[in-house]
Protein backbone atom coordinates (compact mmCIF):
# COMPACT_ATOMS: atom_id res chain seq x y z
CA UNK A 1 0.00 0.00 0.00
CA UNK A 2 1.23 3.44 -0.81
CA UNK A 3 1.54 6.51 1.35
CA UNK A 4 0.64 10.08 0.54
CA UNK A 5 3.27 12.75 -0.03
CA UNK A 6 3.02 16.27 1.31
CA UNK A 7 5.47 18.73 -0.14
CA UNK A 8 5.88 22.12 1.44
CA UNK A 9 8.04 24.94 0.09
CA UNK A 10 10.44 22.71 -1.77
CA UNK A 11 13.33 24.54 -3.40
CA UNK A 12 16.09 22.99 -5.44
CA UNK A 13 19.32 24.24 -6.96
CA UNK A 14 21.88 23.02 -9.44
CA UNK A 15 24.93 24.92 -8.30
CA UNK A 16 23.87 28.56 -8.47
CA UNK A 17 20.81 27.86 -10.66
CA UNK A 18 17.58 27.88 -8.72
CA UNK A 19 15.50 25.23 -10.51
CA UNK A 20 12.53 24.75 -8.17
CA UNK A 21 10.78 27.62 -6.45
CA UNK A 22 8.64 27.00 -3.36
CA UNK A 23 6.72 24.02 -4.64
CA UNK A 24 3.94 22.83 -2.35
CA UNK A 25 1.45 20.11 -3.15
CA UNK A 26 -0.27 17.05 -1.76
CA UNK A 27 0.05 13.82 -3.69
CA UNK A 28 -2.66 11.39 -2.54
CA UNK A 29 -1.85 7.77 -1.72
CA UNK A 30 -2.66 4.95 -4.14
CA UNK A 31 -3.36 7.22 -7.07
CA UNK A 32 -1.39 8.24 -10.09
CA UNK A 33 -0.27 11.84 -10.23
CA UNK A 34 1.11 13.28 -13.45
CA UNK A 35 3.51 16.20 -13.75
CA UNK A 36 3.57 18.03 -17.05
CA UNK A 37 5.33 21.07 -18.40
CA UNK A 38 7.79 22.14 -21.08
CA UNK A 39 11.42 20.97 -21.09
CA UNK A 40 13.47 22.43 -18.29
CA UNK A 41 10.46 23.39 -16.20
CA UNK A 42 11.67 21.49 -13.14
CA UNK A 43 9.29 18.54 -13.18
CA UNK A 44 12.10 15.98 -13.32
CA UNK A 45 14.02 17.83 -10.64
CA UNK A 46 10.90 17.71 -8.52
CA UNK A 47 10.49 13.92 -8.67
CA UNK A 48 14.20 13.48 -8.11
CA UNK A 49 13.75 15.42 -4.90
CA UNK A 50 11.13 12.91 -3.74
CA UNK A 51 13.69 10.13 -3.32
CA UNK A 52 16.65 12.43 -2.72
CA UNK A 53 18.26 11.50 -6.04
CA UNK A 54 18.55 15.17 -6.90
CA UNK A 55 21.33 15.69 -4.39
CA UNK A 56 23.50 13.00 -6.05
CA UNK A 57 24.17 15.32 -8.99
CA UNK A 58 27.31 17.39 -8.53
CA UNK A 59 26.54 20.72 -6.89
CA UNK A 60 22.85 19.98 -6.46
CA UNK A 61 20.92 20.65 -3.27
CA UNK A 62 17.34 20.83 -2.12
CA UNK A 63 15.57 22.50 0.75
CA UNK A 64 12.06 22.21 2.12
CA UNK A 65 9.73 19.69 3.68
CA UNK A 66 8.70 16.46 2.02
CA UNK A 67 6.48 14.32 4.21
CA UNK A 68 6.15 10.79 2.97
CA UNK A 69 3.45 9.35 5.20
CA UNK A 70 4.63 10.81 8.48
CA UNK A 71 8.35 10.81 7.71
CA UNK A 72 10.12 14.00 6.70
CA UNK A 73 12.52 12.55 4.16
CA UNK A 74 14.97 15.45 4.49
CA UNK A 75 15.07 15.34 8.30
CA UNK A 76 14.08 11.95 9.67
CA UNK A 77 15.90 9.60 7.32
CA UNK A 78 19.01 9.04 5.24
CA UNK A 79 18.82 8.95 1.44
CA UNK A 80 19.50 5.20 1.50
CA UNK A 81 16.56 4.54 3.81
CA UNK A 82 14.27 6.68 1.68
CA UNK A 83 15.27 5.03 -1.57
CA UNK A 84 14.50 1.60 -0.15
CA UNK A 85 10.88 2.77 0.24
CA UNK A 86 10.59 4.71 -3.00
CA UNK A 87 11.03 2.98 -6.33
CA UNK A 88 12.18 4.91 -9.36
CA UNK A 89 11.93 4.29 -13.09
CA UNK A 90 14.04 6.48 -15.32
CA UNK A 91 13.61 7.99 -18.74
CA UNK A 92 16.05 5.64 -20.42
CA UNK A 93 15.71 1.96 -19.54
CA UNK A 94 18.71 1.16 -17.35
CA UNK A 95 18.79 -2.55 -16.55
CA UNK A 96 22.11 -3.92 -15.32
CA UNK A 97 23.74 -5.33 -18.47
CA UNK A 98 26.01 -7.73 -16.62
CA UNK A 99 23.15 -9.40 -14.73
CA UNK A 100 20.57 -11.91 -15.87
CA UNK A 101 16.91 -10.91 -15.97
CA UNK A 102 16.40 -12.74 -12.69
CA UNK A 103 19.30 -10.98 -11.00
CA UNK A 104 18.12 -7.63 -12.30
CA UNK A 105 14.77 -8.06 -10.59
CA UNK A 106 16.32 -9.50 -7.45
CA UNK A 107 19.07 -6.87 -7.30
CA UNK A 108 17.27 -4.55 -4.88
CA UNK A 109 16.67 -7.37 -2.40
CA UNK A 110 20.09 -8.95 -2.80
CA UNK A 111 21.67 -5.56 -2.34
CA UNK A 112 20.05 -5.29 1.04
CA UNK A 113 21.27 -8.72 2.04
CA UNK A 114 18.14 -10.74 1.34
CA UNK A 115 19.22 -14.29 0.53
CA UNK A 116 16.24 -16.66 0.94
CA UNK A 117 16.15 -18.29 -2.44
CA UNK A 118 12.54 -19.50 -2.35
CA UNK A 119 11.23 -16.06 -1.42
CA UNK A 120 13.44 -14.46 -4.05
CA UNK A 121 11.99 -16.77 -6.69
CA UNK A 122 8.50 -15.76 -5.64
CA UNK A 123 9.31 -12.07 -5.60
CA UNK A 124 10.92 -12.22 -9.03
CA UNK A 125 7.91 -13.98 -10.48
CA UNK A 126 5.40 -11.64 -8.80
CA UNK A 127 7.29 -8.53 -9.89
CA UNK A 128 7.69 -9.68 -13.47
CA UNK A 129 3.99 -10.54 -13.59
CA UNK A 130 3.10 -7.14 -12.16
CA UNK A 131 5.27 -5.57 -14.84
CA UNK A 132 3.56 -7.72 -17.51
CA UNK A 133 6.89 -9.17 -18.57
CA UNK A 134 6.70 -12.65 -17.06
CA UNK A 135 5.27 -14.45 -20.08
CA UNK A 136 7.89 -12.98 -22.39
CA UNK A 137 10.95 -13.84 -20.30
CA UNK A 138 10.01 -16.74 -18.04
CA UNK A 139 11.95 -19.26 -20.13
CA UNK A 140 15.27 -17.46 -20.02
CA UNK A 141 15.21 -15.72 -16.68
CA UNK A 142 18.75 -16.75 -15.88
CA UNK A 143 20.04 -17.20 -19.41
CA UNK A 144 19.48 -13.76 -20.89
CA UNK A 145 21.11 -10.58 -19.69
CA UNK A 146 19.06 -7.56 -18.76
CA UNK A 147 20.40 -5.73 -21.79
CA UNK A 148 19.58 -8.39 -24.37
CA UNK A 149 15.82 -7.75 -24.47
CA UNK A 150 14.04 -4.99 -26.39
CA UNK A 151 13.83 -1.42 -25.14
CA UNK A 152 10.19 -1.74 -24.12
CA UNK A 153 10.91 -4.99 -22.30
CA UNK A 154 13.91 -3.39 -20.61
CA UNK A 155 11.73 -0.61 -19.27
CA UNK A 156 9.22 -3.12 -17.91
CA UNK A 157 12.16 -5.00 -16.40
CA UNK A 158 13.17 -1.77 -14.67
CA UNK A 159 9.62 -1.42 -13.37
CA UNK A 160 9.76 -5.02 -12.08
CA UNK A 161 13.10 -4.23 -10.44
CA UNK A 162 11.58 -1.22 -8.72
CA UNK A 163 8.49 -3.20 -7.62
CA UNK A 164 10.52 -6.12 -6.26
CA UNK A 165 11.43 -4.17 -3.13
CA UNK A 166 7.72 -3.50 -2.54
CA UNK A 167 7.99 0.28 -2.46
CA UNK A 168 5.37 2.60 -1.06
CA UNK A 169 5.89 5.16 -3.78
CA UNK A 170 6.81 4.64 -7.42
CA UNK A 171 8.42 7.58 -9.21
CA UNK A 172 8.50 7.51 -12.99
CA UNK A 173 10.56 10.08 -14.85
CA UNK A 174 9.20 10.07 -18.41
CA UNK A 175 9.11 6.27 -18.42
CA UNK A 176 7.79 5.97 -21.97
CA UNK A 177 9.51 8.80 -23.76
CA UNK A 178 12.18 6.53 -25.25
CA UNK A 179 9.68 3.85 -26.31
CA UNK A 180 7.54 3.12 -29.35
CA UNK A 181 3.74 3.53 -29.20
CA UNK A 182 3.03 -0.15 -28.50
CA UNK A 183 5.48 -0.30 -25.61
CA UNK A 184 4.15 3.02 -24.37
CA UNK A 185 0.62 1.60 -24.32
CA UNK A 186 1.88 -1.37 -22.27
CA UNK A 187 3.56 0.91 -19.75
CA UNK A 188 0.39 3.00 -19.46
CA UNK A 189 -1.66 -0.16 -18.90
CA UNK A 190 0.74 -1.07 -16.13
CA UNK A 191 0.45 2.29 -14.44
CA UNK A 192 -3.30 1.91 -14.61
CA UNK A 193 -3.15 -1.45 -12.86
CA UNK A 194 -0.49 -0.55 -10.34
CA UNK A 195 -1.91 2.69 -9.09
CA UNK A 196 -4.37 1.04 -6.73
CA UNK A 197 -1.44 -0.43 -4.78
CA UNK A 198 1.23 2.22 -5.01
CA UNK A 199 1.42 5.95 -4.97
CA UNK A 200 2.63 6.73 -8.46
CA UNK A 201 4.16 9.99 -9.56
CA UNK A 202 4.79 10.18 -13.29
CA UNK A 203 6.58 12.91 -15.15
CA UNK A 204 5.55 13.10 -18.76
CA UNK A 205 6.00 15.19 -21.83
CA UNK A 206 2.92 13.70 -23.31
CA UNK A 207 -0.29 15.39 -22.21
CA UNK A 208 -2.52 12.63 -23.52
CA UNK A 209 -0.55 10.22 -21.39
CA UNK A 210 -1.22 12.35 -18.32
CA UNK A 211 -4.89 12.47 -19.25
CA UNK A 212 -5.05 8.71 -19.66
CA UNK A 213 -3.30 7.51 -16.52
CA UNK A 214 -3.48 10.13 -13.80
CA UNK A 215 -6.19 11.30 -11.43
CA UNK A 216 -4.31 14.47 -10.62
CA UNK A 217 -2.05 16.58 -12.74
CA UNK A 218 0.43 19.29 -11.87
CA UNK A 219 1.64 21.83 -14.39
CA UNK A 220 5.17 23.16 -13.95
CA UNK A 221 6.58 26.22 -15.63
CA UNK A 222 10.02 27.72 -15.08
CA UNK A 223 10.56 25.95 -11.78
CA UNK A 224 7.19 26.84 -10.33
CA UNK A 225 4.12 24.71 -9.83
CA UNK A 226 1.53 26.75 -11.73
CA UNK A 227 -1.47 24.58 -11.12
CA UNK A 228 -2.27 21.31 -9.41
CA UNK A 229 -5.76 19.89 -9.81
CA UNK A 230 -7.74 16.83 -10.86
CA UNK A 231 -6.69 15.84 -14.36
CA UNK A 232 -10.12 16.49 -15.90
CA UNK A 233 -10.13 19.99 -14.49
CA UNK A 234 -6.62 20.75 -15.76
CA UNK A 235 -7.53 19.64 -19.27
CA UNK A 236 -11.06 21.03 -19.51
CA UNK A 237 -11.22 24.01 -17.26
CA UNK A 238 -7.79 25.13 -16.05
CA UNK A 239 -7.85 28.07 -13.67
CA UNK A 240 -4.54 29.54 -14.80
CA UNK A 241 -4.13 31.18 -18.19
CA UNK A 242 -0.62 29.70 -18.59
CA UNK A 243 -1.93 26.15 -18.07
CA UNK A 244 -4.55 26.77 -20.72
CA UNK A 245 -1.97 28.13 -23.15
CA UNK A 246 0.23 25.11 -22.61
CA UNK A 247 -2.40 22.41 -22.96
CA UNK A 248 -3.89 24.02 -26.03
CA UNK A 249 -0.44 23.99 -27.57
CA UNK A 250 0.12 27.70 -27.69
CA UNK A 251 3.68 27.14 -26.44
CA UNK A 252 5.95 24.38 -25.19
Partner 1 sequence: MNEPKIIPLPPVPEEPPSAPHRITPSPMIKTMLPQTEMGSPVAVAPVTPSAVRMFLQAKSSGRMADGAFASLMVVCALSIFAIVILIVSVLVSHSQLSIKAFGWHFFSTRTWDPVSGDFGALPFIYGTVLSSLLAVLMAVPLALATSIFLLDICPKFLQAPISFLTELLAAIPSVVYGLWGVFVLVPIIRDQAGPVLEKYLGWTGLFVEPNFGVNMFAASVILAIMIFPVISSISRDVMRAVPVHQREAVLALGATRWEMLRIGVLRNARMGIIGSVILGLGRALGETIAVTMVIGNHAAIMKNLFAPGYTLASVIANEFSEATGDLYLSALIEIGLALFLVTIIVNAIARLLVWAVVRDNAGSAH
Q: Is 39 in the site for partner 1 (CB under 8 A)?
A: no
Q: Is 112 in the site for partner 1 (CB under 8 A)?
A: yes
Distance CA(22)–CA(11), nearest Å, equals: 5
Stretch that binds partner 1, among 11-19, 20-28, 117-125, 177-185 (CB under 8 A): 177-185
| String of DSSP letters for 191-204 | HHHHTTTSEEEEE-
Site for partner 1, residues 74 to 93, rule: CB under 8 A: 79-88, 90, 92
CB of 60 to partner 1, least distance (A): 13
What torsion, rounded to 10 degrees, do the Cα atoms 208, 213, 214, 217 define?
-20
Cβ(238)–Cβ(227) below 8 Å: yes
Among 20, 53, 67, 200, binds partner 1 (CB under 8 A): 53
CB of 155 to partner 1, least distance (A): 12
Q: Is 182 in the site for partner 1 (CB under 8 A)?
A: yes
Q: Is 24 in the site for partner 1 (CB under 8 A)?
A: no
Distance CA(166)–CA(90), nearest Å, equals: 17
Q: Is 50 in the site for partner 1 (CB under 8 A)?
A: no
Cβ(165)–Cβ(84) below 8 Å: yes
Among 75, 118, 139, 249, binds partner 1 (CB under 8 A): 249
Secondary element (H or E) of residue 34? strand 32-36
Site for partner 1, residues 209 to 248, rule: CB under 8 A: 211-212, 235-236, 247-248
Amino acid sequence: MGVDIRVENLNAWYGPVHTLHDVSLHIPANHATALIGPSGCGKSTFVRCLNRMHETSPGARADGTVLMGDIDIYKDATPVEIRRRVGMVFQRPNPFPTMSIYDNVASGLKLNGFRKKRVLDEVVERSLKQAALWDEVKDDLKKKSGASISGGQQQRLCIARALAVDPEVLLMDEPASALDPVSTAKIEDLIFKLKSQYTIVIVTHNMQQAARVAENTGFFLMGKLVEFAPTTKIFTNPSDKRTEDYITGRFG
